[in-house]
Amino acid sequence: MPVSPAMAEDLAAAVADLYEAAEGVLIERIRRALAEGLDSPVWAEMKLAAVGNLQTAISEVIAALQADASGAISQAVAEAYERGQQAAVAELGALGTGQAAAAAETLPTAPVVDRLAAAVVDDVRPVHLRMLRQSMDAYREVITRAAAAPVLGAQTRRQAAQSALDQFAARGITGFVDSAGRSWELRSYTEMATRSACGRAALEAHTDRLGAAGVDLVLVSQAPEECKLCRPWERKVLARSGAPGAREVQVEHSTEDGEMVTVAVAGSLDEARSAGLQHPNCRHTVSAYLPGVTQIPARQPSRGTYEDSQRQRYLERQIRKWKRLEAAALDEAQRRAARARVRAYQGRVRELVAETGLPRKSHREQLTTAR
């Protein structure tokens, strides 16, 4: 069974669901706190006096999230490593008894799993502080703008409160700002961080098993909507170990003792990964290449372009954004307007998948709610 970072996608999504659900709870807590007594002449004073209570409530949500997420991350990485091992064992069933038995032997997994899981937990730890700070900043910003609006005469207090709350809900909680200054949504960042670790766990387990069986060559698949980083490595044979660079090697036939086979090797697996192959969103798989047995498949037409897939991701983000705005609405009219925008973006997704043949991933259009 071939292995890729995508084989652990569902595991990363389960962790990201926890963060998205917590974000939804925070938006709802802030909305409810602000909506109470909104028409009172002393509304601003009441809300400022309640800052401590809201901060305590938000801190409790984040503490529960942190505990749940740490366990979920460790479980996800361990499961990804196990999937990678089993994929290698399944692939190597075609080998001789000795090699298949070597591949099936238990390898020590705890150090690898612990290392990768700990790295993710460290990566997302600052996110919890951001969640508290940004939630409280948003609450104070709404109060400030809503209190000033009637004095300035541009908006009513309700309109100003809704506008400020909309801005917070639209952008969501920022999980990370990268070196290019791009802000990552909370869900997107935690999913990317977990998917990267789970993908590495599956890939390391796979290559460890191949090494235990004495298999050094792997084959890269062709993937739909491939990016320019991965395209040069599609349908190429790579060496699991050894020096980088293209070359021809003489290796023994996988099932015929004493028979030698010439194999064109495009480079090393580490070389390809350093060049971008199997990045966090990569769909390319790597499978054992068995000299004399494995056939390199013919190139297949792509169902869409990488740019098409990125357009789909953008539309999915817009759908989730307007669903957050619906959750933050202070009245029914605002909720109806947000729902209309959700439907409009869903229509654009339907048009895109019909035009390109891309599969629709409805789960990426959903907001996970607290259960």
Of 224 and 76, the structure prediction assigns the larger pLDDT to 76
Which of 275, 302, 329 delimits the end of a domain?
302
> 360 vs 24, 177, 306, 313, 355, CA distance in Å?
24, 28, 15, 10, 12
> Which residue bears the tokens 């994929």?
87
d(CA 200, CA 240): 15
What is the distance between the alpha carbons of residues 232 and 210, in angstroms, rounded to a whole number?
A: 24
Contact 198, 8 (CB under 8 A): yes
**Which of these three, 284, 302, 320, is where a domain ends?**
302
Last residue of a domain, one of 191, 215, 239: 215
Give the residue numbers spanning the domain of 44.
1-215
| 261 and 317 fall within a common domain | no
CB contact set of 193 (below 8 Å; sequence gap of 6+): 120, 123, 124
Question: 144 and 229 share a domain?
Answer: no
Q: What is the pLDDT of residue 234?
A: 87
pLDDT, tens digit (0-9, with 9 covering 90-100), for 123-142? 899 999 999 999 999 999 99
CB 235, CB 286: distance < 8 Å? no
Q: Are 27 and 324 spatial neighbours (Cβ–Cβ below 8 Å)?
A: yes
Residues 50 and 19 in one domain: yes
Residue 140: how many other CB atoms lie within 10 Å: 15
Residue 159's pLDDT band (cuts 50, 70, 90): confident
Which stretches of 255-360 are DSSP H helices? Answer: 269-274, 306-328, 332-356
Q: Is the pLDDT reported for residue 370 higher than 50? A: no
The predicted pLDDT at position 96 comes to 54
Average pLDDT estimate for 325-330: 87
Asked if residue 200 and residue 134 are part of one domain, the reply reads yes
CB atoms within 10 A of CB 54: 20
Average pLDDT, rounded, for the chain: 85
Q: Are residues 55 and 9 in the same domain?
A: yes
Length of the chain as a residue count? 371
- C-alpha angle with apex 319: 314 to 324, nearest 5 degrees? 125
Query: Do 247 and 355 have their domain in common?
Result: no
User: Could you tell me if 80 and 185 lie in one domain?
Assistant: yes
For the stretch 276-286, pLDDT in tens is 888 877 778 88
Pairing of strands 267-268, 237-239: parallel
Number of domains in the chain: 3
pLDDT at residue number 371: 33
Give residue-wise pLDDT tens across range 283-321: 788 888 989 888 888 777 666 677 888 889 899 989 988
- Cβ–Cβ < 8 Å for 313, 365: no
Q: Which of 131-134's residues contact partners 24+ apart within 8 Å by CB, and which partners?
A: 131/22, 131/23, 131/26, 131/58, 131/62, 131/65, 131/173, 131/186, 132/55, 132/58, 132/59, 132/62, 134/168, 134/173, 134/174
pLDDT digits (tens, 9 = 90+) for 332-348: 888 899 999 999 999 99
- The token pair at 58 is 């938000």
pLDDT in tens, 214-268: 889 999 988 766 778 888 898 999 998 888 999 999 988 888 888 899 999 999 9
Residues 177 and 195 in one domain: yes
Q: List Cβ neighbours of 79 (8 Å cut-off, separation of 6 or more).
A: 8, 11, 198
Q: Please give the average per-residue pLDDT across 344-364, as a whole number.
A: 89
> Domain check: are 57 and 161 in the same one?
yes
Clarify whether residues 182 and 312 are in a common domain: no
Q: What is the pLDDT of residue 262?
A: 92
Q: Tell me the whole-structure pTM to 2 decimals.
A: 0.77
Residues 6, 148, single domain; the answer is yes
200 or 298: which leads in pLDDT: 200
64-78, 163-177, 265-279: least confident range = 163-177
Tokens, residue 170: 């639209």
Q: Indicate whether 224 and 128 sit together in one domain.
A: no
First to last CA, the chain: 35
164 near 146, Cβ under 8 Å? yes
